[in-house]
Every structure is written in structure tokens, then in C-alpha cells.
Amino acid sequence: MKPLQFKTLCVALLAVTMAASSATASAFEWQVVVNNGDFMPTDQCNPATPNPTTPPCRKFNSFNQPSVSAKQMVVMRARSRGGQGLGQPVHGVYVRNMATAGPVVKILDRNTQVPEPNNRGSVFVEPPSFPRIDLGSNTMATRGNHQPVWQVLDPTSGDILEQLGTTGIYTNPFGNLITGASKLGAVPEFSFFEVPEVAGTLFDVFPGSPAVTDGSTIVFKGNYTVNFAGKTGVYYRDLVNQPISSPAGSLSPAGGSNPVVLIANNTDSFIPGTSTVFGSTAPPSAANHQAVFAGFDNEDNPTLGGIYLAPLNGTPLPPLKTLVSIGEQVLGESRHDRFNRLGEGVSFDGRFVAFWGAWGTESTALTLQCPTEGNAERIVFCNQQYPNGYMVQVPVHQGVFVHDTKTGQTSAVAKTGDKFSDFVYWNFSGLVPGASEGDDDGEPARWRSASFVAVSGLVDGKLTDATFHTAFKARTGSVAGGAYVNPVDGIYLRKGPGAAATVTVVESGMSGTLLDPEAIYDDDENPSTPAVMLPVTEMGIERESLRGNTLVLNVSMGTEEAGWAGIYQTKVLDSK
């Protein structure tokens, strides 16, 4: 790694020279967690003594949204380039302890063997979603896809009867990577992985990203099938530092054999206050022995449902506390304005819950175009399904809100009309029919919308007061012909509750050198051409990108031909 102190100093010096329009963003002091100039740690390449001429020593190329703990441990999913003699690109999950300015450490990549149970020596194929991390510890959790990990043999002939387990949840509460959940619930000796409400049934997939709390508890969404009908629910599992007992012997390192516990599902769980069961549930967030998740009667057109809090006390189907619901009046609007949409990606820090919500009947028509980068099979499938684009209706009235679980109060953070035009972002993702399980969430490929928000009540070091800080992603611009015209995307920060001003953290078009002094393009083939500071083009946060007083982002600068990217960290001061 390059010296962190040097990078931070350069950012501060460059910020002084920037135009006044960037003054707000330059007030933040940025540190580079990792960027495209850093070598990826692999089993074959030690970044401390890299040899860039010998594959597979290669550099990072792109990054997904990072997560961070209150202890400044940053976890990220990242990739390298492939081809040009380098072979297949490296995809993996990595951490860096920014409290100690330690090195980037690999958690897993495509050469990492899947932890036990694994009697086939299978390695990971893909970490298909962004990883997450515990609020108060260094324990991370990630999904992982791979070839089957367990083969069942005929005891007489020794022939292979079945090969099972192509995805799971993996975590490191006790140091080594272990299996937290797996598609092995139908194997008798691993029945603790089964769907708890249907004995002997395995989970099909774990959509989204798993949460982790209390150092060793994973909380996740799980899908399964009963009599050819798809089912879904929210679950958790307490892990212990014990081996797994098996006829094949004691398997370790492992997380013991505690069973999965059901929080809510679409079979047995009634939406609080109704006689209607959940039709859908969303990947949860968790902190301080509690989980928060969104659930609705109908995911596409909800009339019932909301955001709920559940204790993680070992009791299946615990009582759910309603935090925000469909039909609830929107703060600051007329009594007729009530939430008719709530976002699935809720952020939770143990007290405060940040979420997206919409109201009213007015909408803006957008025509979404298929992606041009990413999974090749998915791009082809999208264009086959939507050769002329896909039209969606985006609510005109929408915003970002925070609910205080202690006081029961909901505060508005930002709304359309105040400054911003949109808080909803779209992508085409999922499993393409006929494709092998790869870089997807295991659910069918389709257009999906998401909003991005993170909340922390710990900027001032305590959760006992009503002060919180919220970071969110938003767009400003006008729509013509079904598309935004020269939109500006950005990450913004606001202190609440109250009337504090919204602060710009980073925006598209801003000079990338405000975050990273290496975000400069210098044409080596034409030495007379002056170096150019690359503009910010994309940025991202997720629900755990703001923890304690630490904010982490993934940012891309420039173009595909002359670009730069990295993960960047700054401190949020209580005065902001």
C-alpha cells in the first residue's frame, strides 16, 4: 500500500486550490482505503513485494459499495481486470483496518476453498453481493457462490448419489472463515442448516446481503420451495466456536450446530394489525440483538406492510414492532399524504432506522436502457427482453426519512422538491434462465430499483440522545424523452433531527483529486500533454457505509478509457 499519510496530505493540499463550487466537499479530509494503484492480495502474489510482470499479480480495477464498522474496519467486494495474459479476473472480498492503517487483507477470492462442510474441495466462484460488517466488532458476512461442496455416497457401492450446496453465507467471527448458512439442510447430519419451519427442507438461495450483529449472529433473508411453491422469510443463526459433528469426522473451523431461527415468513407471519400474511420480505439489517426488515403484502404494489423490528432472543416468530407502515401519514405533508411505497434497503444502528418512502399518485415516466457493462449473459438477455428499453413510473413525491425506535418519532431528512429530483436508482440484475449461478442474487433476472441511505447516531459517540447523521444518494436534474438530461448524482449528509443544512459530500463532475491525488490522467504517449484531473462519474454507499463517525464510499472518476476508482474514507464531525 502507498503511505496513507502522504495521500491524505496531498488531498488536503489539492482541496485548497479547487473552485468555490467544491468548497463543501473539500471540507472533508479523505483517506484512500484502496484504489486502482494497489495490488490485490492473493495466494500467489504478496502486495508487499509485488512483481507486476508476473501474473497473477494484478491491481484492483473496480469496487462495490463498502461497509464499515464503528472500529473503522472496512469490508469491500472488488475485482481486477482479466485477459491480456492475466487470465480470468480476480473477484473477491477484502478488508482493511483503517484505525491502524493496516494492509488490505483477502477474505476470499476465486481460489479460496469453501469452508466446511466441504468434502469436494470446492472453491468459490463468486461473492455475488456487497459484504457487510458488525457495528461493534470486526466480524463480516458475505454470500458466496460455488460448485457443490458436499457429495453423498452410496454406502455399498461408493457411487456418488448427490452433490449439494452451491451457495451459502460465510463469516469470520472467530478468525477463520466459516460457513454460517448453506444449501445443505436436506443432508441429515447438517439439519441445523434446514428451513426451521419445514423440517428436511433446504434453502434455495439467500437473496441480498446478510447482516451480522453481536459478533457472531448472522441475520438473512432465505428463499425455499415447498410443493413447487416459492416461499420466503427472514432468519438468524447464532454461531459458536465449535466444530461440526459428522459421520465424516469432526469438521472445523466451524460455527457449531445451533439451528436457524425464524423471524418472519410469508406462510406463518401475519402483517401486524392485520389478518394478511406477508407476501414478501426484504434482506434485514441488525444491531444490538435486534433486526429490522421491510415486509409487504405485495412487493410490486403494496397495500399493507411496512418496516418492522424484531428481538433476536432465541424465540421463533418473535413479536414484531411496527416502526413505519404503508398508509401512515408523511411527516410535513398534508393529512391526505400517506406512504404508499417504502424502500427495502433499511439502515439500522441499534436505535435509528433510515429508509426511503414515497407518497401520492403523480409519477415520472423513465425508459431504462439495458446495461452495456457487466455480466455478458445478462446483457444479452436484457436486450432480448427489452430491445426498446423498459418503461417505469417513478414517484414524484419521495424522500429519505429516519425513525427513532426509542421515541417513536419519524424525521424527514430530504425530499424531492427541496433540492433533489430523485432518490431511486435502477439496475437489471438476477439469474438469467439457463445460466450457471454466478454474479447474481439467485432470483430471476429483472429490473430492480433501490435507494441508498445510511444512518449513525454514534457520530457523537453515544446513542442515548436523539441526534443522528444520515448519508444518502440522490439525483438532481430534469427528464426529457424518458431520460434524465445531464443529471447530477451525489452523496449528501444531514444532521437530525432539526433544520440542519444538507451538506454535499461528493457529486458527479467534481474533481476526483479532492478524494484521491492519483485521480489524474497523464497521456504517456504524448508527454507534452498536461495532466488532467479526472471528474467524479459514479459514487456509491450502502446501508452500513456510515458507522460511528466514519463514512466510506466507492467512487469512480473519468472514463472507461482513462479512469480511476477506489474506496475512500472520511470522518463525519458532529458540527456538520
User: Is the distance from CB of 141 to CB of 169 less than 8 angstroms?
Assistant: yes
- Judgement on whether residues 250 and 381 belong to the same structural domain of the protein: no
DSSP H or E run through 553: strand 550-558
Cα–Cα distance measured from residue 167 to residue 551, given in angstroms and rounded to the nearest whole number = 30
- Judgement on whether residues 264 and 337 belong to the same structural domain of the protein: no
Read off the pLDDT of residues 291-338 as tens digits, 9 standing for 90 and up.
999 999 999 899 999 999 999 999 999 999 999 999 999 988 988 899
Cα–Cα distance measured from residue 176 to residue 115, given in angstroms and rounded to the nearest whole number = 9
Peptide bond into 117 cis (omega under 30): yes
How confident is the model at residue 478, as a pLDDT? 95
Instruction: Output the CA angle 297-303-309, nearest 5 degrees.
Output: 60
- Judgement on whether residues 381 and 464 belong to the same structural domain of the protein: yes
Report the candidate in 212, 221, 341 with the shortest Cα–Cα distance to residue 288: 212
- Judgement on whether residues 239 and 362 belong to the same structural domain of the protein: no
Q: List b or e across 524-555, with b for residues whose CB sees 16 or more CB atoms inside 10 angstroms.
A: eeeeeeeeebbbbbebbbbbbbbbbbbbbbbb
Residue 455 lies in a domain: yes
Cα–Cα distance measured from residue 214 to residue 407, given in angstroms and rounded to the nearest whole number = 23
Q: Is the pLDDT of residue 201 over 70?
A: yes
Q: Is the pLDDT of residue 436 over 60?
A: no
Which amino acid type is present at position 226? Answer: V
- Judgement on whether residues 351 and 470 belong to the same structural domain of the protein: yes
Read off the pLDDT of residues 14-59 as tens digits, 9 standing for 90 and up.
333 344 344 455 589 999 999 999 999 987 777 777 666 666 688 9
Domain count, the chain: 2
Cα–Cα distance measured from residue 430 to residue 465, given in angstroms and rounded to the nearest whole number = 41
Instruction: Output the CA angle 388-392-398, nearest 5 degrees.
Output: 150
Residue 558 lies in a domain: no
Residue 497 lies in a domain: yes
Cα–Cα distance measured from residue 201 to residue 185, given in angstroms and rounded to the nearest whole number = 6
Read off the pLDDT of residues 249-278 as tens digits, 9 standing for 90 and up.
899 999 999 999 999 999 999 999 999 999
Q: Is the pLDDT of residue 2 over 60?
A: no
Question: What is the average per-residue pLDDT within 224-239?
Answer: 96
Report the candidate in 455, 475, 469, 457 with the shortest Cα–Cα distance to residue 543: 455
Task: Decide: helix, strand or coil at residue 202.
Answer: coil
Instruction: Output the CA angle 441-444-446, nearest 5 degrees.
Output: 95
Read off the pLDDT of residues 406-423 as tens digits, 9 standing for 90 and up.
999 999 999 998 899 999
Cα–Cα distance measured from residue 242 to residue 463, given in angstroms and rounded to the nearest whole number = 33
How confident is the model at residue 561, as a pLDDT? 67
How confident is the model at residue 50, as a pLDDT? 67
How confident is the model at residue 78, as a pLDDT? 96
How confident is the model at residue 72, as a pLDDT? 98
Instruction: Output the CA angle 10-14-16, nearest 5 degrees.
Output: 125
What count of other Cβ atoms lies within 10 Å of the Cβ of residue 439?
Answer: 18
How confident is the model at residue 247, as a pLDDT? 84
Report the candidate in 172, 322, 201 with the shortest Cα–Cα distance to residue 260: 201
How confident is the model at residue 20, as a pLDDT? 36
From 380-384, 432-436, 446-450, the region with the lowest mean pLDDT: 432-436
- Judgement on whether residues 342 and 263 belong to the same structural domain of the protein: no
Read off the pLDDT of residues 477-509 as tens digits, 9 standing for 90 and up.
999 999 999 999 999 999 999 888 999 999 999
Question: What is the average per-residue pLDDT within 213-236?
Answer: 97
Q: Does pTM top 0.85 for this prediction?
A: yes
Residue ending a domain, among 507, 540, 558, is 507
Residue 357 lies in a domain: yes
Residue ending a domain, among 507, 528, 562, is 507
Instruction: Output the CA angle 375-377-380, nearest 5 degrees.
Output: 110
- Judgement on whether residues 350 and 485 belong to the same structural domain of the protein: yes
User: Is the distance from CB of 448 to CB of 425 less than 8 angstroms?
Assistant: no
How confident is the model at residue 525, as a pLDDT? 64
Residue 13 lies in a domain: no
With cut-offs at 50, 70 and 90, classify the pLDDT of residue 1: very low
Residue 249 lies in a domain: yes
Q: Is the pLDDT of residue 117 over 70?
A: yes
Residue 227 lies in a domain: yes
- Judgement on whether residues 352 and 455 belong to the same structural domain of the protein: yes
Q: Extract the C-alpha cell encoding 474.
A: 440522490
- Judgement on whether residues 360 and 240 belong to the same structural domain of the protein: no
Question: What is the average per-residue pLDDT within 449-457?
Answer: 97
- Judgement on whether residues 368 and 253 belong to the same structural domain of the protein: no
Cα–Cα distance measured from residue 383 to residue 369, given in angstroms and rounded to the nearest whole number = 9
User: Is the distance from CB of 442 to CB of 222 less than 8 angstroms?
Assistant: no
User: Is the distance from CB of 8 to CB of 101 less than 8 angstroms?
Assistant: no
DSSP 271: P
Domain extent at residue 450: 331-507
Residue ending a domain, among 249, 268, 287, is 268
Q: What percent of the chain has pLDDT over 70?
A: 91
With cut-offs at 50, 70 and 90, classify the pLDDT of residue 285: very high
Report the candidate in 339, 194, 307 with the shortest Cα–Cα distance to residue 259: 194
From 217-221, 288-292, 495-499, the region with the lowest mean pLDDT: 495-499
Q: What percent of the chain has pLDDT over 90?
A: 77
Phi, psi values for residue 387, rounded to 5°: -65, -25
From 5-19, 148-162, 337-351, 430-444, the region with the lowest mean pLDDT: 5-19
Read off the pLDDT of residues 121-146 as tens digits, 9 standing for 90 and up.
999 999 998 999 999 999 999 999 99
How confident is the model at residue 55, as a pLDDT? 61
- Judgement on whether residues 376 and 451 belong to the same structural domain of the protein: yes
- Judgement on whether residues 166 and 243 belong to the same structural domain of the protein: yes
User: Is the distance from CB of 35 to CB of 566 less than 8 angstroms?
Assistant: yes
Read off the pLDDT of residues 151-170 as tens digits, 9 standing for 90 and up.
998 888 888 889 999 999 99
Residue 263 lies in a domain: yes
